[in-house]
Each structure stands twice: as C-alpha cells, then as structure tokens.
Structure 1
C-alpha cells in the first residue's frame, strides 16, 4: 500500500485549476415565466389544435358574413328551407342541394331553377344560413369576451382588495358576495326584462351584477396565501406602498390563475347566452346568435336537420376548444406539473 501511495503524484491531490471565464458561463439559456409556460403549452397537442380552431372561428366570425353576397336579414320566402349547396363538392355527390321530399331524393335547386349557391342552406324565411351562423358566432363571442373582461376588471379588483385588506373589510366584502351569489343569473336576467327589452344589454347587465363572483373568490383565496410570503413582507419592510405590492408583486404571481379562470369563463358565458336565447329571453329576431339559430332549427330537426346541426357544431367547437385551452394553460402555469 505504501508503495502504491508513493507512485501517485502529489499533483493529483491538488484542486483543479478554475478558469474564471468559464465559471460564470450559463450552460442553459434563462427562460422567463411566460416563455417557460409557452414551451409547456406547446407540448399539449390538444391545446394547440384547439387554439388554432378557436382562432379560425374568430376570423370567420369577423369576415364570414362578408364572404357571402346574401344579406343575413333579407327575407325571401320563395327560397325557404333550401339544403346546403357548395360549388365543387356538388360534383362529388355531397352538398349538392338534394334532400328527401316525401321519401324521394330531390334536387331542390334544379326543381326551383335556382342557380345560386347557399353553402349552409336557408332557414324557414329564406335567409342565408352561412352568413347568419357567422353573424351569430360574432354575437356569442362578444358575450364571451365581455364576460372575460368583466371577470378581469371587477372580479380581480374585488378579490385583490378583499384578500389584501383582510379583517373587517374582508368580512364585509365577503358577506356582499354571499348575498349576490345567492341570486341565480336567470333570476337577474328575468328582472332585467322588467326594466329593459330582451337582448344583449339585459344579458350584459346580468353578467355585470353576478358574473364576476367566481373570479373574485379565487383571487381572494390566492391573495390570502401569497400576502404572507417573505417577498411581500420584505417589500412592506422596505416601505413599499400597498398599490405597489398589489400590482408589482401579487398580481404578476396571480396571472396564471387569472388566465386559466378567464378561459373557463368563455364557454360558460357562451352557453349561458345560448340557453337564454333558446328559451326565448335572450336575443330576439331578426338578430342572430348561436342560441337563436339552434332554437329555430330544433323545430324542424326531423325534416331539415342542417338548420340545427351546423350552429350546434360551431358552438360545440368553441366550448370544447376553450376548455382544452384552459386545461393546457392550467398544466403550464401549475408548478407541480413541471417536467
């Protein structure tokens, strides 16, 4: 053993030389919180596909009514209840304007000598369904984004103040929330109908009154947890004002929760508007929304299923896509889900 130790040079027991230029080198590029979240969202194929579909629907809601040269409100009873007819596809035997009448397959366009193409067909008053579907999608998306905006302004502000102040202020604000949450949205809408006409304005007022309660409670719970963290206490010790602590420290750390809950608010608002329009206390004719189109289509579903199926497909894509995007964002912003 002694002979082996004598053969080992002493230089091997000395610490390796340190190169000061290499000691500060970052082996992996630094990532911001937003970029790190995006990299994790990108791995979720369902969320990415849903995002693409939602963006396409938003684009079609903007330009869709202008793609058709038919006025979505123009009534033409001579062309009522026409089936879909799409140029190019009609040569393949699909969407060629044919439907069963009395058990016999009949090309309605040829029977009535109609040369125009109605891509989604027409409704019972002869109005172009293609332009009305995208016009209705525009209204439904407006309701959804309005609900998200109300959540982010009223709900987030209310939850921030209630959770940060605490004590008697929090107690009073939470009692107010309990009173408002005990009033169903449907009751609020019905009460609004006594004051104003059915339409977007009554739905908007109903959402302003009660639509932000869920967001306020979520934000308050997170603020109660975060305001006792060391970085908040250090800011208070250094003399930071309450507004600086709220908007500089707490709000950025709540961004993930706010974005996730906002994405789940969108399908809820769309479904709420569609439900109100379906039961007749939402938008009124001749205005169109996905709910009113579904309500018009279900009456003749057995004979003209396309009148109901097409708006149902659009609203289902929006609801499913929004939920999948919300799931993807939740996984991305949750630290427990990191690789």
Structure 2
C-alpha cells in the first residue's frame, strides 16, 4: 500500500484547508415563525383568493354606499321593484332594467319614466338595494368581528385560568362550562331579546354568552399540554411569576391555535346573525343586515329575485372565503393539525 502511494506522481493530492467561519456560515437567510407561515400560505391559492375577496368585500362595505347616488333609507314609491340596471350591460341581455310583466318582457325604467340607474335594483319601497346590501354587509361584519373578539378574549382568559391553576379551580370552572353547553343558543337569544330591545347589542351579547366555550376548551387543552413541559418548569425554577410564564411562555405557543379558531368563529357568527335576522329575532326594520335582506328577498323570490340574489351571494362568499382562509392559516401556522 505504501509502495503504491510512493509511485503516484507529485501533485496528485492537494491539501484541503477548511475555514471554520465559512463552514458555520448560514447561506440561506433565517426566517421567523411568521415569515415561514407566510411562505406556506402563499402556496395555498384558495387562501390567497379568499383573502383578496374578503378584503374587497370589507372595503366595499364601507365605500359601497358612497358610490351610489341614492341613500339606503330614502323611499321613492314610484321607483319600487325596479330590476338591476348597469350602463353598458344592455347588449349582454342582463342587468339591463328589463323584467317580465304579464308574461311580456318590458323595460321597467322606461315604463315608470325613471331617468336614473339602480345597480342592484330597488325593493318594494323604492329603496336602493346597492346601498342597502353594502350597509347590511357592514353591520353583519361588525357583529361578527365584535362577537369573535369577545369570544376570543373571554375564551382565552377562562380556559387559560382553568388549566393553569387546575385542581378545584379547574373542576368548578368546567362544571360551569358544562351547564352553559346544555343551554340551546336559541333559548339564550330569545331570553336576551325579552330583556333587551332587539338590535345589534342584543345579538352580540346573545352570541357571546355561549360562543366563547369552544375557544376556552381549546385553550385549556393547549395549556394543559404545555404547562408541565421543561421550558415552563425551568422558568418557574428560576423564579418567574405566573403572569410572566403565561405571557412569555404559554401564550406565544398557543397563539397560532387562537388565531385559527378565531377565523372559524367569524363565519359562524355571520351565519348565526343572518339566521336570527331571517327568522325575525335579529335586527328590526328599517335596519339592514344580510339576514334581513335575505328575509325580504325570500318573500318575493318569484317576482323580484334580485332582492334575494345579491345578499345571498355576498353571504355565501363570506362563509366560503373565511373557511378557506381558516384552513390555509391552519396549514400554515400549525401543519401538524392537518394530520
């Protein structure tokens, strides 16, 4: 072996020197948790499209009423039950202001001598549906976001305290939760409306009374999972207070779960508000929400389908988009939950 190596020509082997600084250098930039989550969610086309649609609807709920030349609460009886008419769509055969009257298609705007356009048509009182739909969307989103925020705050605090202190505290708090779970939401809503005047505040309180229970159970399970792990025990050994352990060690580890659950709570609150308004237990006329507009359109679906069409489309987009975005956030923030 040694003789073979001696027969090799000079220069067959070169000395390799390794720079320790270069060997330990990280060529790829380090990513934070949120940067890594953003890279994951960017690959989810459904979540990105849902995010764009939700942003568009949110902007239009505030900007939409100002784009129309008609106020949402102004009644013009001579303009009642007009179909949608948008300039430039006449040649396409829809949204041209035509409707069937006595089996014959006629131009309702020309027949009623209306010289202005209603993009989403009008209702039975001559109110502009474009303004009413976007104002109704604004109210529905307001109720949903406020209710979801209350559910998040109450649920996180209740579940966190129950799990962190445990023992008798946990037993008592969980028995209260079990009692509240046994009460149907509709019964709570009816009781709230009997005590309070029907309106936005009554609906928010009714949704929030039992809506936080799901969040509290999820947070309780996560706190029970993390509170006995090594990093929490090390912090407690070093003399960290309970508030510091919760704020610096436990909450950051369950923040992703809280965000994901909140994203699924919002569409549930939107649908529950629409359901209450649809059955007459929510907002009362002349206030508008997606539920009240759908209720008005349902009664006239055979004669004026446009009154039902537009709020139903927006409600469907909100429900689908929030659920798809929630799925995307779940996969991005906590990929283990996908399994």
- TM bin (shorter chain): over 0.9
Aligned twin of 2:78: 78
State the distance in 1 between where 2:143 and 2:322 align.
14
Deviation of 1:244 (Å): 0.6
- Alignment partner, residue 229 of structure 1: 229
- Measure, in 1, the Cα distance between the counterparts of 2:336 and 2:187: 40
1:15 CA displacement: 8.6
Rounded Cα–Cα distance in structure 1 between residues aligned with 2:305 and 2:225 = 52
Partner deviation per Cα, 1:117-148 (whole Å, 9 max, x = no partner)? 00000011110000000000001001110122
- Superposition TM-score, scaled by structure 2 size: 0.95
Q: TM-score normalised to the size of structure 1?
A: 0.95
Number of the residue aligned with 2:141:
141
1:290 aligns with 2:290: yes
Partner of 1:273: 273
Provide the residue aligned with 1:244 in structure 2: 244
Change beyond 3 A, Cα 1:234–1:40? same
Q: Deviations over 1:268-294 (max 9, x none)?
A: 000000000000010000000000000
Moved more, 313-322 or 175-184: 175-184
86-95 vs 31-40, greater mean Cα deviation = 86-95
Write the distance in 2 (CA, Å) between the matches of 1:92 and 1:13: 79
**1:167 aligned residue:** 167
Pairwise mapping of residues 178-327 of structure 1 onto structure 2 (< 5 A)?
A: 178-327=178-327
Please name the residue that 2:158 is paired with.
Answer: 158
Measured against aligned partners, the alpha-carbon deviations of 1:230-256 in whole angstroms (never above 9, x if no partner) come to 111111111111111101111011111
Using the alignment, how far apart are the partners of 1:11 and 1:2 within structure 2? 17
Do residues 67 (structure 1) and 70 (structure 2) align?
Answer: no
Indicate yes or no: 2:127 matched with 1:127: yes
SS in 2 for 1:328: helix
**Pair 1:192–1:8, CA change in 2 (3 A):** farther
Structure 1 position 337, deviation (Å)? 7.4
Structure 1 residue runs without a partner (length 5+): none
Deviation for aligned residue 1:206: 1.1
Q: Alpha-carbon deviation of 1:212?
A: 0.6
Q: Separation in 1 of the partners of 2:243 and 2:90?
A: 63
What CA RMSD, in Å, does the superposition of the two structures yield over aligned residues?
1.9
The answer for the alignment partner of 1:333 in structure 2 is 333
> Where does residue 39 of structure 1 map in the other structure?
39
The change in CA–CA distance for 1:315 and 1:9 in structure 2 (over 3 A counts) is: farther
Aligned to 1:107: 107
In the alignment, the residues of structure 2 paired with residue 63 and residue 244 of structure 1 have an alpha-carbon distance, to the nearest angstrom, of: 43
Q: CA deviation at 1:12?
A: 9.4
CA distance in 2, matches of 1:224, 1:28: 36
- Say which SS state the counterpart of residue 127 (structure 2) adopts: coil
1:93 aligns with 2:93: yes
Change (3 A) 1:40 1:337: farther
User: Greater shift after overlay, 110-119 or 200-209?
Assistant: 200-209
- Relative to structure 1, the CA distance from residue 9 to residue 189 in structure 2 (aligned partners, 3 Å threshold; closer, same or farther) is farther
CA deviation after TM superposition for structure 1 residue 93, in Å: 3.0
Count, aligned residues:
338
